[in-house]
Each structure stands twice: as C-alpha cells, then as structure tokens.
Structure 1
Amino acid sequence: MTSASFPAIEGASQETLGRRDADPWVLAFEDRQYRRSELGALTDGLVETLDRRGVTHGQRVALMSSNRPEFVIALRAIWRLGAAVVLISPSWKRGEVEHALALTRPEHAVGDQPLLAELMPMLHLDEPIAAVAQAPSRPARAPGDDAVLVFSSGTTGMPKAVRHSHAGFGLAVQQWASALQLGARDRMQIVTPPSHILGLLNIVTVLQAGGWLRLHRRFDIDQLLAHIESDGITVEMAVAPIALAMASHPTLENFDLSSLRYLLWCATPVTVSVAEAVTRRTGVTWVTAYGASELPVLTCNEIAGARLDNVGRAVPGVSLRVVSLETGQELAPDEVGEIEAQSNSMMAGYLPDSATAPAFHDGWYRTGDVGHLDTGGYLRITDRAKEMIKVRGFQVAPAEVEAVLHGHPAVADCAVFGVPDEADGEAVMAAITLRDPVRGPVDEAGLIAWVGERLSSYKRPSEIVFVPEIPRLPSGKALRRVLKERHGRSSDY
C-alpha cells in the first residue's frame, strides 16, 4: 500500500510514513486488527463498488457514520475517486441533516445511519466490502479540489459547511504531525466523533505518520484507561470530559499509563485544577493546542515543558495577530483583542458562499476568540467575541436553540447563552419568559426534552431559568452578556 491511500496528503514518501516493517498493524477496533495491506485491499474494493454506483471526480459524497474502520475505508475510497467527503454527524436529527444535504448537494451517500438512508440512496457500511488486489487508477485530482466539507455553526444559527481543499487539509495534517512529533512508534485511540475536524485530523494524521490507531464506538473511561495499558498508547487525546473523568476516577492509580508520552488537551480551555490532578495521580504531563474547523491547527505548546496557562505558539506555516475589537488595528504584545490567523492550511471557504467574506479581515481569518500574544509569541485565550457556545469542542449557535424554544406553545420569549462548565468547557443555558405564568411553571425538564427531540444532544440546554423579561437593545438584539452575568456560573479558567 502506498501513500496514495490518503490522496488528500501531498508528497508523502515511505520515509515520511516511517515504516518499521513491510506490512505493520495500523488499525484496531474492538477485537479486530487490520494490517496496512488489508486496509489497502478493502479501500480498493470500496473504490470499485463506489465506481459502479457512479461516484466520479469532482462529486460530493455524504458520509454519516459512527466511529468504525469502515469510516476510514470509505474516506480513503472517496478520495481515491477524486470526490469530496461531506461529513455529517451521526448525532444529528432530521432537520439538521436535511439542511446539510440541501446546502452541500451531495450526489451520493455512504454510512450506517438509517436517517441518511431515508433522505437519499445510501451505500450501507454494514454491507460486506470485497477486498481486491488493486483498483484501477483514477484521474488525478488537483490540489485545489475540495477534499472534505465539515460543519461549523454560524451566527445565523444554521450550520455552515467548511470547505477544505486537498492541499490545505494535507498541509494541516503535516502541521499536526510535526507539532505533536508523531511517528511510526506512536499509538493513539480515538473516541471523539470522526465527523468533527479534530477526530478526522487525528485519524488521518496518525495513519499518515505510519502509526497505529484504535477506534472506539463511544467514550467509556474504563475502556479508555484499560486500552492505554494494554495497547501501549503513546499519545492520548483527553478533551475536557475525558480529563474530568480521569481526574475523578476512583482507581486511576491502578492503571499503568507509563506508555504515554503526554496527554493532549484541545477543543476547550484547560481547567488547570483538573489537568494538575491527573498529572499528580499519574505522573503524565500535558500538551495544549488550539485549532478550528476553519483552520485545523493554529498553535501547539512544546512537547516538553508545556504550560497550562496558554495554548502555545503558532505552528510553522501559521501567522497570528491580535486586533482591536473596536478599530481592527493590530495590537502590541499582551494587549487583549480578537485573534486572527493566516495559513495555507486555512479553509477554501464556506457554503453558503455569502458567509465567507465576513469571516475574514484584510485576508486574515477572524477566529472570534479573544486573547493576547505575549512577547514570546505564546497565545492565551480569554474570551470569545462571537456569541457561539463551545460544548466539548462543538459550536452551538444560540439562535438555533432559540428558534426551537420559540416553537414551544408556552414560551413567549427566550435567549440562549453559554456558561462555564468544568466537564464540557461550556454548557448551554436558556432564559425564558412564559406566555401565561399565572397558570403555573412549565416543567423545566419538558422544555429541555423539547430541544433534545429536535437538535443534537450537545445543543440541549443543561439549565433553564425563568425570567420576567429578556433584556434587549432597541434593535431587538438580546443582551446575552447581561443574562450571563446575572445567571451564569463562576469560572476558574
């Protein structure tokens, strides 16, 4: 199997892959392991199947799948055919999937979710994939062709599709491998959704670096800790919920975690007390990093001696600056403003196209995050300029949740905002005024369930407060910051 198995990545060689033997084990799932040659043969088999179904260069293919080896095989096969992958979260409800399909207009679908199969013809990943020796070569794709479309919510409340080219995403993979110093000796396990940019980036980077990867259907702290020990995991992605589960695990010291080079904290601000508790109990230190759906790798801390009060410095190939929230002018070191970035690994743009221009300022990508760079180039994130809520690394648009709550017959008005949460980074909170409060309070659990039935679980409010009125500007804009100050929780970030 050659480096062409991941055609989104340019210029890979056998030296880059760092192979220690001719056909190593590269992927594990439950009690099954796959050698590199087996993954190649299964990819070639799915290439032939998709080719017969009419998948061709330049088309888009929706991929809605749980975390399983067939996801990796489908990803590779679609890229081999020169098509772009539209990643749809398996946690999404019908309305969210319908919107994603209408926005991206994929010609084909692959996955394991009945919902996608109801909306368009789908090749089910439970169907056997016939391994073949080698599929015929296909037309080469251009570096600027779309490779993958992932979704990131916007201020309008409707998810936007983030377009990444083969060249751009390939560079992001190289940046990630270099920043984490990943090689053929490394072993990682993935419990984060593969439809999210972080899960996708880790899967592709580990396999491209010649390492070994275990996929999990779902997060289970005991399984995760047991596999660090049994599989000799060297790099563990421990986003906030995983870190909290480790810190609070009653028998954490009973697991042998000595194979770990470090634990990696991404997607949410570091909760220092939690990270320090894990290190104190295990002896394993942390590395912090920062990225976005639009620019997958922005910063990373040093592997040795990383600090928890910042997210490191810009990785090679990424430029950072901080600009005034009022004037847009670049600020001096240690001055707080909005973080902007430039890189060739940046997204090619959004769908709809009209959303792309507002995301940039003089050619710089506006992250929406607020922070400051010190004189050494280390970045600290302190807040967000945008009103997005970030739950476990997923962006939640308040307007989207508000639209659902406004559909409840008892809700007269509402506003949704984020509050600090130790486990998830932020939690969704809703302030609600009732149409007829005299008749008695509406059941809070019922309102939360109302949202949960219509949106993904991470968009569901964790708490609802009933207020006499929603504070608003004359323009009608809800003063979410006021509500957050009145009803939010304190934070030690």
Structure 2
Amino acid sequence: MTERAALVFEDREYGRTELTALADGLAGRLARRGVGAGDRVALMSSNRPEFVLAVLAVWRLGAAVVLLSPAWRRGEVEHALEITRPAHAIGDHPVLRGLMPMLHLDEPIEPGRGDEVRYDPRADAVLVFSSGTTGMPKAVRHTHGSLAAAVRHWRDALGLTSADRIQIATPPSHILGLLNIVTALEAGAWLRLHRRFDLDRLLHHIELDRITVEMAVAPIALAIASHPKLERYDLSSLRYIMWGATPVTPSIAETVTRRTGVGWVPAYGASELPVIACNPLDGARLDTPGRPVPGVSMRVVSLETGEELGPGETGEIEVRSQSLMAGYLPAEATADALHDGWYRTGDVGSLDADGWVHLTDRSKEMIKVRAFQVAPAEVEAVLHGHPAVADCAVFGIPDGADGEAVIAAVQRAAPVEAEELIELIGSRLASYKRPRHIEFVSGIPRLPSGKVLRRVLKEQALKERDGRTSHS
C-alpha cells in the first residue's frame, strides 16, 4: 500500500517515511561537515521541499536553524549573519554562498537512517527575524519548547486534523510560513508547497486539490477580492480562509465572501509569540482578531504609566505564554521587550468585557498631531472603503507646527482626486486625522508577511518634501 502524501511540490509527492529518511540523509551530510548540537546553521532558500528537509535535518542534529529571507539583499544578510554568528550554511541562494561556505540544496540528497530524535525543550530550535518596520531586524530565538507550544496553539485554533489539506505560497522563512509547515506535519495534514505566489495557480489548486484551509495575508486577500474571474473557480472545499499578519480590511473580506461564499477566520500573532489570538471557526468576526487562544494570557497596560487597564480601555497589549521567544539577538534588545515574563507587543488596543481583542495600531507607528494620536489603520480603513482605492498606507512625517503631519500613499484602481479622498476621511474621522497630503503611488511596499513598510514611504515623502523646499 502506497503511503499517503504528506508534502507535495509541483508533481512530486513525499510520504512521511520518505521525508524522515531524506532528512536523516541530509543530517548525515551536515554532520560530516561538522554540524553538531548547539550549532547555528544559516538557511537561505527558495520555496522548495529541500527547505523543509533542511530544517528537519538541522533539528535532528540538535542544532538551530537561522532563517534568512531569499528576498534580502547582501547588506541585510550580512547584518543577520553578524548578529546570529552561524557556524555553517545551507541553501540555494548566491548571496549566502558568497558570504560563507554553503551546502547547496541542488545537490542530490540520499535517504539515510538515524536514531529517534528527542529534542531538548530548552535548546534553541529556530532564529527568525522580526519584521523590521523600524530600524534593523532583530533575530528572535525560539526554543524547541516554545515552538512546540506555538504549534499546539495553532493546531487547536485552526482545528487542523489529518483530514485537512492546505497549501503554502508565502515564504517559509517567515514565522507564519514555518509555523504552517510544522503544524501541518504535526497534524498529519496534506500540504502543498508552491515555488512562488501566483494567484491563478493558488485558486486552481484549491479546486484541484480540494484544499480545506487557505492561508492569506493582506496582499493575497486584496488579489483574491479584485480577481476578475474569481467566480470561475470552485472553492467549495474551503472550510475558511485565515487572515493573519495585518488587521482585517472588512470591505475586502466581505467582497471575497460575497463572491465565493467562503468565510474568514482572523488571527493575530507575532514573531516573538506566534499565536496570540484567533476567532472561533464558527461565528468569526471581522472587527477583531478574536480572543486569546488557550495557553496565552493577555493584558492591556497604560501607554503612559504601564499600569494594567480595565475592559474597553486602550493601551499597549502585553502577552505571556509557553510559546514566548527566549529572547532577541542582539541580546541587549531583549530587555525592552520582556518584563516579568510579559512580552510588550508594541500593539495598541483593548480587551472588552467578553475577552475580544480590538487592535488600534502599532504604538511605534502612531502619528502624533498636536498631542493627539492618529492610528494609521483607522485612516486606512476609511480609504479602503472608497471604490477607487486599490491599496493604501498612512504614515506621519515631522512637521514644525503640528509635531507630525498625516500623509497617505494611495494606489488607485480608478481615477480619483486627492481632495475627494481627504474630504471622505474628514467626513468620517476627526479633523486632525485628515491627511495633509496624498501621494499617488504605483504600489504599496510590503514585507512578505503583508505588513506595510511605512519607513520606506516616510523616507520617500521626506525626500520629495525636502526637494520641493530646496527649489522654492
């Protein structure tokens, strides 16, 4: 009897037994190169089955894997290597190969046989990088114990079983991609890995493979909602689509549900604590990422005093759990994020009396106008409601009179004037939340996770402003 596929990539299927044997074989090659318990191994790879095998092989040796994004440039990789100091490297990327000796994943992997592995829950398992929306990215250290707790939380939150079929097109070097892969393997679910994101291929495989759970971040949700031929695809196998990494845009989610009949399950997490909150699978709401998952404690503290706040009061969200990271590299960054076992998320929001989480925005991204705080997400939600807006991002730039000026970058789906959009925001929100200026752009820069790179937009806006000033 042929073993059921656990991982599928293009036309290639891997059973669980074959995955284990190939991981053992690759572990043997790494061991002969000197990889041992406690070492760190850099992994920079495209989306491919060998990425999964490399992670499993490194773990089988008691080493930790340092995940580097294949989208990074040389300077970003140099920074990551400098703060994590891996002794070995594996992957398929020329940038990593140019910086240190690398075992190339194109080399054939022969099956092997290893002993049963027992992971030390206190040992580092993976180092992933924080989103880096401000400053240089930090490495987030997860132990085998914290990662296993995150996998349990994710499996329970999604209701994932061996009957489920999922696919992954987002980079596995990001915490969400890795979490989805490991959770699918742990649950015995059927998993298709895609080489890259292609919307039509994704929709085709939902229909062809009878996918039951689809994972989406904001750019994917936007692409699905605006697909002109979406109704041609049979998506009836889906139990739901999960929306993570960014707050839900209700108008986008509702458009997809109206056109496909498929509902959404919003969730909330961070690289430092991968699963924080999730909606119930039945009766999910679009105005909240859900309630804290079992095993995660959450509280809201004052942005000014740090004192714990009551239901409905807005402040910074703090969380603690067995799934919490062990700390950052560089290590000195850890003290600002952890205190008394609580992780400071940097997210601003509230918990209502029934335990639902309501996110306002990132505290580091809040815009201060004449001492008033403006949440970019709040302004963006209004802009997204205009039919001529395909995508948008709101940010602040320094202003001599008001402290900061609100700026909106807008990608148009149809002709519209800036004055019309500013007037729309002014009709929905307080006057100080109206953008001073709207920049029309060809696209909104985002990380693979879907998070907006406001820093990039801010730098562009400042250059343009300074250029205008120097010529006036």
Match of 1:195 in 2: 173
Aligned pairs for 1:281-292 within 5 A: 281-292=259-270
Does the Cα contact within 8 Å between 1:432 and 1:467 map onto a contact in 2? no
Paired residue secondary structure (2:154): helix
- Encode CA deviations 1:9-28: one digit per residue, 9 max, x unaligned: xxxxxxxxxxxx98311111
Match of 2:48 in 1: 68
Does the Cα contact within 8 Å between 1:340 and 1:367 map onto a contact in 2? yes
Match of 1:264 among 220, 242, 249: 242
Does the Cα contact within 8 Å between 2:393 and 2:452 map onto a contact in 1? no
Match of 1:334 among 286, 290, 312: 312
Match of 1:227 among 189, 205, 208: 205
| Pair 1:115 & 2:95 matched | yes
Match of 1:84 in 2: 64
For residues 256 and 396 of structure 2, what CA distance do their matches in structure 1 show?
Answer: 32
| Pair 1:96 & 2:76 matched | yes
For residues 226 and 327 of structure 1, what CA distance do their matches in structure 2 show?
Answer: 52
For residues 467 and 292 of structure 2, what CA distance do their matches in structure 1 show?
Answer: 44
Aligned pairs for 1:427-438 within 5 A: 427=393
For residues 178 and 392 of structure 2, what CA distance do their matches in structure 1 show?
Answer: 22
Does the Cα contact within 8 Å between 2:365 and 2:395 map onto a contact in 1? no
Does the Cα contact within 8 Å between 1:240 and 1:425 map onto a contact in 2? no
Match of 1:49 in 2: 29
Does the Cα contact within 8 Å between 1:429 and 1:464 map onto a contact in 2? no
For residues 205 and 196 of structure 2, what CA distance do their matches in structure 1 show?
Answer: 14
Rate the CA distance shift 1:127–1:268 in 2: closer, same or farther, 3 A: same
Rate the CA distance shift 1:280–1:154 in 2: closer, same or farther, 3 A: closer
For residues 57 and 226 of structure 1, what CA distance do their matches in structure 2 show?
Answer: 42
For residues 89 and 425 of structure 1, what CA distance do their matches in structure 2 show?
Answer: 24
Root-mean-square deviation (Å)? 3.0
Structure 2 counterpart of 1:67, which letter?
Answer: N
For residues 152 and 89 of structure 1, what CA distance do their matches in structure 2 show?
Answer: 11
Match of 1:352 in 2: 330
Deviation of 1:360 (Å)? 2.2
Q: Calculate percent identity across the aligned residue pairs.
A: 64
Match of 1:157 in 2: 135
Match of 2:125 among 147, 152, 165: 147
Does the Cα contact within 8 Å between 1:321 and 1:330 map onto a contact in 2? yes
Structure 2 counterpart of 1:38, which letter?
Answer: E
| Pair 1:135 & 2:132 matched | no
Aligned pairs for 1:405-420 within 5 A: 420=380
Match of 2:465 in 1: 467
Does the Cα contact within 8 Å between 2:257 and 2:263 map onto a contact in 1? yes
Structure 1 counterpart of 2:209, which letter?
Answer: D
Out of 79-88 and 358-367, give the one that drifted further: 358-367
Count of aligned residue pairs for this structure pair? 404
Rate the CA distance shift 1:101–1:355 in 2: closer, same or farther, 3 A: same
Structure 1 counterpart of 2:343, which letter?
Answer: Y
Match of 1:5 in 2: none
**TM, length-normalised to structure 1:** 0.77
Rate the CA distance shift 1:175–1:329 in 2: closer, same or farther, 3 A: same
**TM, length-normalised to structure 2:** 0.80
Aligned pairs for 1:379-418 within 5 A: 379-387=357-365
Deviation of 1:372 (Å)? 0.7
Rate the CA distance shift 1:331–1:388 in 2: closer, same or farther, 3 A: closer
For residues 254 and 460 of structure 1, what CA distance do their matches in structure 2 show?
Answer: 37
- Encode CA deviations 1:49-87: one digit per residue, 9 max, x unaligned: 111111100100001011110000000000000000000
Structure 2 counterpart of 1:385, which letter?
Answer: S
Structure 2 counterpart of 1:135, which letter?
Answer: G
Rate the CA distance shift 1:360–1:137 in 2: closer, same or farther, 3 A: closer
For residues 337 and 193 of structure 2, what CA distance do their matches in structure 1 show?
Answer: 34
Rate the CA distance shift 1:163–1:192 in 2: closer, same or farther, 3 A: same
Paired residue secondary structure (1:164): strand
Deviation of 1:334 (Å)? 0.6
For residues 346 and 271 of structure 1, what CA distance do their matches in structure 2 show?
Answer: 28
Does the Cα contact within 8 Å between 2:349 and 2:361 map onto a contact in 1? yes
Does the Cα contact within 8 Å between 1:299 and 1:311 map onto a contact in 2? yes
Paired residue secondary structure (2:222): helix
Match of 1:37 in 2: 17
Match of 1:11 in 2: none
Higher relative contact order (CA 8 A, sep 6+): 1
Match of 1:404 in 2: none
Does the Cα contact within 8 Å between 2:36 and 2:62 map onto a contact in 1? yes
Rate the CA distance shift 1:264–1:295 in 2: closer, same or farther, 3 A: same
For residues 276 and 239 of structure 1, what CA distance do their matches in structure 2 show?
Answer: 15
> Which consecutive unaligned segments of at least 5 residues does structure 2 have?
368-375, 400-438
For residues 76 and 172 of structure 2, what CA distance do their matches in structure 1 show?
Answer: 17
